[in-house]
């Protein structure tokens, strides 16, 4: 499993409740662009409509060696369908109706030759929660430094 891109702000901005693995429906040039690490998860989120899950606002730029014909109609921010089971989709749909829960992509990675996305059901953190996270991280860093010096 080779991680292509991670959503670094996800752990800081949100508290992760539950994680899921999903496949992506992509065009050939999008696959090549992703495998060359040209992808952005900034601002991306998952929406569930009519029994289907869609990944929105994930930016995949045009592959540099793509033909001119395919470049004409290409939209880098188009909605992409997620491949999830029927039960997972209904579960996520019911959970997003609850107050304060949303679904965001955590990372994009390859398994064998397939491109997968790890999505998470998350709850937004408040400012004092973020400060607490920073404090814990600093304490852990200081502990590791002191153990290293022994």
Query: pLDDT, tens digit, for every residue of 77-123?
Result: 889 999 999 999 999 998 888 888 899 999 999 998 899 999 999 98
Domain count, the chain: 1
Give residues with Cβ within 8 angstroms of 41, minimum separation 6. Answer: 5, 6, 7, 58, 105, 107, 108
Band of residue 68 on the pLDDT scale cut at 50, 70, 90? low
Closest CA to 97 of 54, 133, 48, 34: 48
**What domain range includes position 14?**
2-149
Interatomic CA distance for residues 124 and 10, integer angstroms: 9
> Cβ of 59: how many Cβ atoms within 10 Å?
14
- For residue 132, is pLDDT > 70? yes
Q: What's the whole-model pTM score?
A: 0.79
Interatomic CA distance for residues 42 and 59, integer angstroms: 8
The residue-averaged pLDDT of 31-55 equals 89
113: tokens are 């030759």
Specify the CATH number for the domain of residue 33: 2.40.280.10
More confident position, 43 or 11: 43
Q: What is the pLDDT of residue 96?
A: 87
The residue-averaged pLDDT of 128-143 equals 87
Average of per-residue pLDDT values in the chain: 87
Interatomic CA distance for residues 90 and 93, integer angstroms: 5
């Amino acid at each position: 499993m080779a991680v292509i891109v991670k959503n670094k702000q996800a752990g800081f901005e949100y508290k992760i409740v539950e994680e899921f693995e999903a496949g992506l429906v992509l065009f050939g040039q999008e696959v090549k662009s992703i495998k060359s690490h040209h992808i952005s998860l900034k601002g991306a989120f998952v929406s569930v409509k009519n029994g289907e899950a869609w990944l929105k606002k994930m930016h995949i730029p045009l592959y540099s060696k793509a033909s001119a014909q395919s470049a004409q109609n290409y939209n880098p921010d188009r909605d992409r369908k997620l491949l999830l089971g029927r039960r997972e989709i209904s579960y996520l749909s019911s959970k997003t109706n609850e107050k304060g829960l949303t679904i965001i992509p955590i990372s994009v990675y390859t398994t064998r030759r397939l491109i997968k996305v790890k999505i998470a059901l998350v709850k937004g953190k408040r400012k004092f929660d973020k400060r607490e996270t920073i404090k814990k991280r600093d304490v852990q860093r200081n502990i590791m430094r002191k153990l290293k010096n022994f």
